Amino acid sequence: MLTKAFPFRGPALVLIVFIQGPFVDAQMQYHETINILQTAYHNEIHANFTYLAYAQKAISENFPNIAHLFVALAASESIHARNFKQLLSDFGVEVTEISEPEIKISTTKENLQKATQNELQDIDQNYPQFVEKVASEKHEAAIRILTYTWEVEKEHRDLSKKLQSGMGILFRILALRIDTTFTQYFVCQICGSVITDHPADICPICKSLVSQYKEVQRIK
């Protein structure tokens, strides 16, 4: 068994354990895919913690519906992380989280701006590059899950951009208007798709049955 300390944004440390034995050949054959999955996994864990922290900040500033949006995004990112962790496990790579990352928290307005920027980076840069890099090794499950995640990040972008038009001096007016109307969020437990209207039959991203969607509970 080999161990490797993998760097993580912030002080968190993730321990990567490479299991020797029948997995060695797969780890050699899909070396680039494993590297990409590790990076994607770390990013999604960081995003999950970040959105939960943003949600608590929104609650403290009396924006419960914006907090609800952040919780929905966090739930989605946690499913992405779970999927990547499972793929790594299939390659014989065990991932154990050691500690939470340090997160910079600003005002809810600034947190929304940062969240939108991060989602755009995932959509325009990170996931297109991830999918391109793993394509040459042709691991179908990895390509499929990374593509699903890329499509879900576009949903995140669309949700957060609904608030972006009010990021100037009208932010508080917009935010208060948002918080007078309750919005439901549903998250697909297979791919992490986030929607505000329960689908009639199947998930628009992974085509799983509608029963795989769960409503996100509000926090107080």
| DSSP symbols for 158-215 | HHHHHHHTT-STTHHHHHHHHTTS----EEETTT--EESS--SSB-TTT--BGGGEEE
Looking at residue 6, its pLDDT comes to 36
User: Positive or negative CA dihedral for 98, 16, 9, 36?
Assistant: negative
pLDDT attached to residue 75? 96
Q: Bigger pLDDT: 147 or 15?
A: 147
Q: To the nearest 10°, report the CA torsion of 189, 54, 175, 180.
A: 50
DSSP summary character for residue 9: S
pLDDT of residue 100: 75
Report the range of poorest mean pLDDT among 97-111, 155-169, 194-208.
155-169
Tallying the residues shown for the chain, one arrives at 220
Q: What is the pLDDT of residues 134-153, one digit of tens each?
A: 999 999 999 999 999 999 98
Q: What pLDDT, on a 0 to 100 scale, did the predictor assign at position 139? A: 95
DSSP 8-state code for residue 135? H
pTM of the model: 0.81
Looking at residue 23, what DSSP letter applies?
T
- The architecture of the domain spanning 2-179 is Up-down Bundle (1.20)
Please determine, for residue 22, whether its predicted confidence score (pLDDT) is greater than 70.
Answer: no
Distance CA 29, CA 214 (A): 37
Give the mean pLDDT of 59-66: 88
Domain ranges of the chain: 2-179
Confidence of residue 8 (pLDDT cuts 50, 70, 90): very low
